Amino acid sequence: MAEKVLMKGNEALAEAAIMAGCRHYFGYPITPQTEIAAYMAKRMPLIGGTFLQAESEIAAINMVYGAAAAGKRAMTSSSSPGIALKSEGISYLAGSDLPALIINVQRGGPGLGGIQPSQSDYFQATKSAGHGDFHLIVLAPASVQEMVDLTFKGFDLADKYRMPAMLLSDGTMGQMMEPVTLDMGKVTEYDKSSWAACGTKCEREHNVVNSLFIQPDELEKYNFERFERYAQIEANEVMYDEYRMDDAEICIVAYGVAARVSQNAIDKARENGIKVGMIRPITLWPFPKAVLNAAADKVKAFISVELSMGQMIEDIELAIRCKKPVLLCNRTGGMIPTTNDVLSKIEEANNIGGDK
């Protein structure tokens, strides 16, 4: 097993990308993710890779599109306002069935917003990362180790299903240091020769990377095919973590830094005799619907803990078919709920049904 090292989340994920075989990084500076670009700028030239600071977020994602179209593992990183600019390119990646990894180290919004941690791009990432009928695989790390593991996983899933994946992180995860193991095993190689535009060598018909289909029946056919793949992903790739759920009567749902705060609150509430646990989605798309729906038959209430104005809560309500009440515990604008904020919401949930 590789040695544990202490790394910042942003730098750890950058190194993980390199270990995953990514040699092409295109980006544009924006707080709080600039460490990723800085790390790549240092490392890529030493290993024969590409680091390029583009003229804009739009150009950066289109450079990723080019490198991905040529069959290479490519990535970009940004923070909320920059991801909005990339949404055009993300849609083209999806429409052309190209794998790529996009990192969003979220900050507060809307508009220029702020630079402190946020989760207010949940809708953007899971519902509307660009125009048209498509999904992104959305991975939500809650530790520096997961920044590493999910970066590795993100590249693999992107290649496996030929679609873009997003790591939805936040300023806390990006800026914090924790011990990590950069030991991710072997990179799975995928054969891209049937579609990559990297030169025919005059040995085959030309490959065309394209998302334009003027005939509606043809476009519909491609969209149907893509959604068949999405169905497989929903069936096979859901990831989540459970914390103290065994006898739980209240279920917190939280991801990223919100899950970390919730863990403290759960421990405290348990000391006070309240049976509370947590289901932490690791994939936000596909969302862990089944496990939540099953939990709805056991618990009396859910709490969505978010750094946003109630975004993930909608997916929880859908997943549990509104069978149980879902409370919202949230802060926004760069503020993070405290342990006590979550604790009071747990107490509120515990009073539901008037049995206390």
Partner 1 sequence: MTHQILLAGFGGQGILFSGKFLAYDGLIEDRQVSWLPSYGPEMRGGTCNCSVILSDTQIGSPIVSNPDILIAMNLPSLDKFENEAVAGAKIFVDSSLIDRKVAREDVEAYYIPATKMASDEGLSGLANMIMIGYMIRKAGVMPYENVEKVMAKVVPAKKQDKLALNIKAVELGYNFE
Partner 2 sequence: MVVFEKPHALADVPLHYCPGCTHGIIHRLVAEVIDELGIEGRTIGIAPVGCSVFAYNYFNCDMIEAAHGRAPAVATGVKRSDPDNNIVFTYQGDGDLAAIGTAETVHAAARGENITVIFVNNAIYGMTGGQMAPTTLPGQVTQTSPYGRDTSKVGFPVKVCEMLSNVDGAAYLERVAVNNVKNVKNAKKAIKKAFQNQLDGKGFSLIEVVSTCPTNWGLTPEKALEWLEENMLPYYPLGVYKDKFAEKEDK
**Residues lying near partner 2 in the complex (CB under 8 A):** 24, 26, 50, 52, 54-56, 58-60, 62-72, 74, 88-89, 92, 96, 196-203, 206-212
| Contacts with partner 1, 297-336, as mask; x by CB under 8 A | ---------------------------------------x
Rounded to an integer, what distance in angstroms lies between the CA atom of residue 259 and that of residue 163?
A: 27
Restricted to residues 264-283, the positions that interact with partner 1 (CB under 8 A) are: 264, 267
Binding flag, residue 261, partner 1 (CB under 8 A): yes
Out of partner 1, partner 2, none, what residue 78 binds, judged by CB under 5 to 8 A for its kind, is none
276: β partners: 250
Question: Exposed, middle or buried: residue 3 (CB in 10 Å: 0-12, 13-18, 19+)?
Answer: exposed
| Contacts with partner 1, 86-125, as mask; x by CB under 8 A | -----------------------------xx---------
Rounded to an integer, what distance in angstroms lies between the CA atom of residue 11 and that of residue 22?
A: 14
Q: Which residues of 252-261 are buried (b: 16+ CB within 10 A; e: fewer)?
A: bbbbbbbbbb
Q: Between β-strands 276-281 and 137-139, what pairing exists: parallel, antiparallel or unpaired?
A: unpaired
Longest dimension (CA), the chain: 77
Considering beta carbons, is residue 146 or 315 the nearer one to partner 1? 146
Out of partner 2, partner 1, none, what residue 290 binds, judged by CB under 5 to 8 A for its kind, is none
Question: Exposed, middle or buried: residue 174 (CB in 10 Å: 0-12, 13-18, 19+)?
Answer: buried
> Which of these ranges, 45-53, 190-198, 215-223, 256-264, lies near partner 1 under the rule CB under 8 A?
256-264
> Which of these ranges, 36-44, 194-202, 216-224, 262-270, lies near partner 1 under the rule CB under 8 A?
262-270
| 3-state SS assignment for residue 26 | strand
DSSP tag of 45: G
How many other C-beta atoms are found inside a 10 Å radius of the C-beta of residue 321?
11
Residue 319 C-beta: closest distance to partner 2, Å: 34
Residue 264 C-beta: closest distance to partner 1, Å: 4
Give yes or no for a cis peptide into 286 (omega within 30° of 0). Answer: yes
Query: What dihedral do alpha carbons 32, 37, 43, 48 form, nearest 10°?
Result: 160
Q: Tally the residues of the chain.
A: 356
Restricted to residues 169-188, the positions that interact with partner 1 (CB under 8 A) are: 171-172, 175-179
Binding flag, residue 38, partner 1 (CB under 8 A): no
**Footprint of partner 1 on this chain (CB under 8 A)?**
4-6, 31-32, 115-116, 171-172, 175-179, 257, 260-264, 267, 336, 338-339
